[in-house]
């Protein structure tokens, strides 16, 4: 079974990237690949915090538990430890590209690149909106995760 190390990245590491990690874990379990997963934020505002309660609740509705995750910031080692670093929006991607050391071989890409449904490849930040934004985020991340895992299966 092929195995990949994947880091999901957003801004705060409390809404989108922990959810992406949880959903990817579930999608990969039903696939022909094995994923080692983690998530991180480009910013340090929420380091040490659990995911946002709205993210936890929206994933609990589909029996995915992300409550034990704890936010951390992206660090230099990540660029050597992970095969794939997937960004939730263009600002995250730009920050990651600035941080990536020249000798890192990680593929740093937009997560939404793997799914036509993602407008400009971005996953909208639900932080300042209501609960419905978190359901939309979950559905969007599920579609992208399925497309991403299908891509990894072809490698
Ligand atoms: P995330 O959402 O990047 O999906 O975790 C956000 C979380 C916190 C903030 C912004 C976005 N914030 O400004 O604190």
At residue 41, what are phi and psi to the nearest 5 degrees?
-115, 155
d(CA 55, ligand 1 centre) in Å: 11
Would residue 16 show up in a list of annotated catalytic residues for this protein? yes
pLDDT tens track for 21-69? 999 999 999 999 999 999 999 999 999 999 999 999 999 999 999 999 9
- Residues in the ligand 1 pocket, defined by CB under 6 Å: 10-16, 45, 125, 127
Buried (b) or exposed (e) across 133-144, using 16+ Cβ within 10 A? bbbebbebbbbb
Res 115: pLDDT: 87
pLDDT tens track for 132-146? 999 999 999 999 999
Res 118: pLDDT: 57
Buried (b) or exposed (e) across 108-122, using 16+ Cβ within 10 A? bbbbbbbbeebeebb
pLDDT surpassing 80 at residue 4: yes
Domain 2-154 has CATH 3.40.50.2300: yes
pLDDT tens track for 112-135? 998 876 566 899 999 999 999 999
pTM flag (> 0.95): yes
Would residue 125 show up in a list of annotated catalytic residues for this protein? yes
Average pLDDT (90-96) is 97
Give the residue extent of every domain in the chain.
Answer: 2-154
């Amino acid at each position: 079974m092929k195995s990949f190390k994947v880091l999901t990245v957003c801004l705060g590491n409390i809404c989108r990237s922990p959810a992406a990690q949880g959903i990817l874990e579930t999608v990969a379990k039903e696939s022909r690949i094995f994923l080692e997963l983690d998530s991180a934020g480009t910013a340090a505002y929420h380091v040490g915090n659990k995911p946002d309660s709205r993210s936890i609740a929206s994933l609990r509705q589909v029996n995915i538990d992300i409550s034990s995750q704890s936010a951390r910031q992206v660090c230099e080692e990540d660029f050597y430890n992970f095969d794939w670093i997937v960004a939730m929006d263009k600002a995250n991607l730009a920050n990651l590209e600035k941080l990536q050391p020249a000798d890192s071989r990680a593929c740093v890409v937009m997560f939404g690149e793997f799914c036509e449904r993602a407008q400009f490849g971005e996953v909208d930040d639900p932080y300042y909106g209501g609960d419905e934004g978190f359901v939309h985020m979950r559905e969007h991340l599920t579609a992208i995760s399925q497309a991403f895992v299908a891509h990894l299966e072809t490698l």
